[in-house]
């Protein structure tokens, strides 16, 4: 059964599990839940105690490019589970877990231009605590389920839907009305419900809002 957890307790557990060798922590949650914020705070605290020991690996770096999404008719659904290279992500997690290379380059999604930048972040062999964050990284169905074997610690962020809606409305407020409505009610909120109902039971729940 999942246990509720706070930031400091989570950091202490991750620090212990990665004390001698590399461990991977998965932080999942709906769009707007604060995954990158939580992952960043965890890594910041771990590095404050042991400089250079922790790094973030975002799932969003494995978005398919628009050159793939447009021909498939998936561009309006960008951000949905089917718009990610899940197998490529799993392969990368396998490389990171084995930690056999001096350093590994991982892609990072650039939100300003909606493109994943290849090799945008380097993960050196000295990093022991990897925090992977993304919406779907705990899904229990399809190709996503293969990711579970890579994790040592799993965390699902829980935010009430009303609060998620408020955050997403703020995120997309500058879009034209039709695009705003589609992004909110046809894409992000349904994707968030999928995360909350179809994720495998995590070890820990981190509650917000």
What percent of the chain has a predicted confidence (pLDDT) above 90?
89
Q: In Å, what is the CA distance from 56 to each residue of 51, 186, 205? A: 14, 29, 19
Q: What is residue 183's predicted lDDT score, i.e. its pLDDT?
A: 86
The residues, any chain, with a CB within 8 Å of residue 12's CB and separated by 6 or more, are none
What percent of the chain has a predicted confidence (pLDDT) above 70?
100
- pTM equals 0.94
Q: In this predicted model, what pLDDT tens digit does every residue of 1-55 receive, in sequence order?
A: 899 999 999 999 999 999 999 999 999 999 999 999 999 999 999 999 999 999 9
Q: In this predicted model, what pLDDT tens digit does every residue of 139-152 receive, in sequence order?
A: 999 999 999 999 99
């Amino acid at each position: 059964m999942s246990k509720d957890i706070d930031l400091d307790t989570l950091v202490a557990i991750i620090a212990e599990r990665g004390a001698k060798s590399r461990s991977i922590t998965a932080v999942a949650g709906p769009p707007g839940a604060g995954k990158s914020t939580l992952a960043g705070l965890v890594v910041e605290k771990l590095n404050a105690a042991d400089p250079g020991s922790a790094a973030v690996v975002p799932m969003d770096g494995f978005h398919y490019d628009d050159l793939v999404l447009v021909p498939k008719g998936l561009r309006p659904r960008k951000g949905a589970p089917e718009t990610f290279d899940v197998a490529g992500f799993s392969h990368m997690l396998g490389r990171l877990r084995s930690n056999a290379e001096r350093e590994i380059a991982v892609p990072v999604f650039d939100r300003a231009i909606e493109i994943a930048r290849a090799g945008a972040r380097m993960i050196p062999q000295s990093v022991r605590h990897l925090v992977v964050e993304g919406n779907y990284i705990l899904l229990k169905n399809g190709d996503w389920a293969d990711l579970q074997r890579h994790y040592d610690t799993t965390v699902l962020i829980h935010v009430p839907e009303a609060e998620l809606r408020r955050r997403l409305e703020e995120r997309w407020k500058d879009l034209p009305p039709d695009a705003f409505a589609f992004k909110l009610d046809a894409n992000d909120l349904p994707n968030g419900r999928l995360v909350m109902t179809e994720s495998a039971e995590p070890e820990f729940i981190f509650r917000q809002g």
